[in-house]
């Protein structure tokens, strides 16, 4: 939690960009799988944050921030009406699965995890990324996405089950 | 199988009550299927959690002008943040091997010289992807 936000204060826009920039960009990249789209989305989020800060009422700053971030993503999805593209850096050959006696390095599995994320339905992907990339609690995810706590729990669980199935060849 | 399988993911995330946790643990000790399911869910969870935090390109910050209330003219850019990013680019070139080791071909961002993050490098649990820069820190 942001110290200033935890104190109930309003951080400056520069603080938000400084402290949350990597998380916002990572959120955007993990959801879109494309560096250009991630940069555009991050910029849109920061613009919305700057615009909204003057009227922000001290409270749960992260809930406010991630609601803005999530809404920017959903708006982008609706506007483009397209599925996210396969990441450019995925070098894993299609259908390739490692021999069972090979220890899979993180460097090798990362692109596959990213690719599997992009195959998830948007609602599941969003919930999983907010939980496991951004590190929000279920309550914070519910606040950011505007759905019930039970729905958050269900989306995360179903998302992980799909990820596990998609990455079955990599699991020891 | 447990009557509400979604509890298993919530259990991994610490999002269950003490009573639910006790019920799950009791069930897991008696149900190999659920224990295996929990293991698979935990693996998927860990796979996503181990993805590195990515540094935004600096032009994400540069392209956003400071609000007019904080500056005399429109089109003035966020120099403090840009300066901080530039400084970290230099520092990052030196310490990138310490902060994060990553194969260049797996770096998902195209602009090598602008990939160093702003302020998260020193935060616990933050792994920033940094890209080897030609002629810098190599």
- pLDDT tens for each residue of B84-115: 544 554 454 444 443 333 333 333 433 333 33
Q: What are phi and psi of A10, to 5 degrees?
A: -105, 115
Give Cα A150 to chain centroid, integer Å.
Answer: 19
Q: Chain B contacts of A131, Cβ < 8 Å?
A: 13
Per-residue pLDDT band at A81 (split at 50, 70, 90): low
Q: What is the pTM of this model?
A: 0.68
Higher-scoring residue by pLDDT: A130, A89: A130
Contacts with A, B 72-131, CB within 8 Å: 78, 80-81, 84, 102-103, 105-110, 117-120, 126, 128
pLDDT mean over B8-22: 96
Per-residue pLDDT band at A107 (split at 50, 70, 90): low
Spell out the residues 6+ positions from residue A17 whose beta carbon is closer than 8 angstroms to its own: A46, A49, B61, B64, B78, B81, B118
pLDDT mean over A63-81: 88
**What percentage of chain B exceeds 70 in pLDDT?**
45
Give the CB-side neighbour count of residue B20, counting CA atoms within 13 A: 16
In whole angstroms, what is the distance from residue A17 CA to residue B120 CA? 11
In whole angstroms, what is the distance from residue A51 CA to residue B61 CA? 15
In whole angstroms, what is the distance from residue A162 CA to residue A121 CA? 10
Nearest C-alpha neighbor of B48 from the set A14, A154, A41, A31: A31
Q: Best residue in B33, B60, B103 to probe A by mutation, most A CBs within 10 Å? A: B60
Contacts with A, B 35-64, CB within 8 Å: 40-41, 43-45, 47-57, 59-61, 63-64
In whole angstroms, what is the distance from residue A77 CA to residue A102 CA? 38
Q: What pLDDT is stored for residue A61 in this prediction?
A: 83
Q: What pLDDT is stored for residue B106 in this prediction?
A: 37
Spell out the residues 6+ positions from residue A105 whose beta carbon is closer than 8 angstroms to its own: none
**What percentage of chain A exceeds 70 in pLDDT?**
78
Q: Among all chains, which residue has been given the structure tokens 């990339």?
A: A133
């Amino acid at each position: 939690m942001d110290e200033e936000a935890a104190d109930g204060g309003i951080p400056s826009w520069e603080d938000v960009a400084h402290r949350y920039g990597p998380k916002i960009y990572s959120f955007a990249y993990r959801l879109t799988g494309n560096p250009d789209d991630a940069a555009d989305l991050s910029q849109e989020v920061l613009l919305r944050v700057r615009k909204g800060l003057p009227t922000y009422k001290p409270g749960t700053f992260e809930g406010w921030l991630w609601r803005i971030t999530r809404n920017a993503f959903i708006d982008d999805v609706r506007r483009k009406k397209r599925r996210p593209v396969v990441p450019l850096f995925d070098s894993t050959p299609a259908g390739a699965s490692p021999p069972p006696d090979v220890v899979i390095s993180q460097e090798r599995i990362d692109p596959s995890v990213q690719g599997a994320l992009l195959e998830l339905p948007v609602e599941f992907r969003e919930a999983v990324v907010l939980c496991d990339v951004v590190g929000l609690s279920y309550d914070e995810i519910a606040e950011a996405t505007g759905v019930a706590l039970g729905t958050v729990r269900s989306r995360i669980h179903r998302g992980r089950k799909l990820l596990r199935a998609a990455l079955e060849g990599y699991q020891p | 199988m447990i009557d509400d399988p979604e509890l298993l993911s919530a259990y991994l995330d610490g999002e269950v009550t003490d009573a639910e946790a006790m019920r799950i643990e009791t069930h897991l000790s008696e149900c190999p299927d659920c224990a295996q399911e929990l293991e698979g869910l935990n693996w998927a969870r860990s796979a996503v959690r181990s993805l590195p935090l990515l540094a935004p390109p600096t032009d994400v910050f540069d392209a956003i002008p400071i609000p007019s209330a904080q500056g005399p003219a429109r089109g003035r850019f966020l120099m403090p943040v840009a300066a901080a990013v530039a400084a970290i680019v230099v520092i990052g070139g030196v310490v990138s091997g310490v902060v994060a080791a990553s194969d260049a071909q797996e770096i998902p961002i195209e602009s090598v010289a602008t990939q160093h993050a702003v302020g998260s490098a020193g935060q616990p649990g933050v792994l920033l992807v940094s890209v080897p820069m030609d002629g810098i820190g190599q």
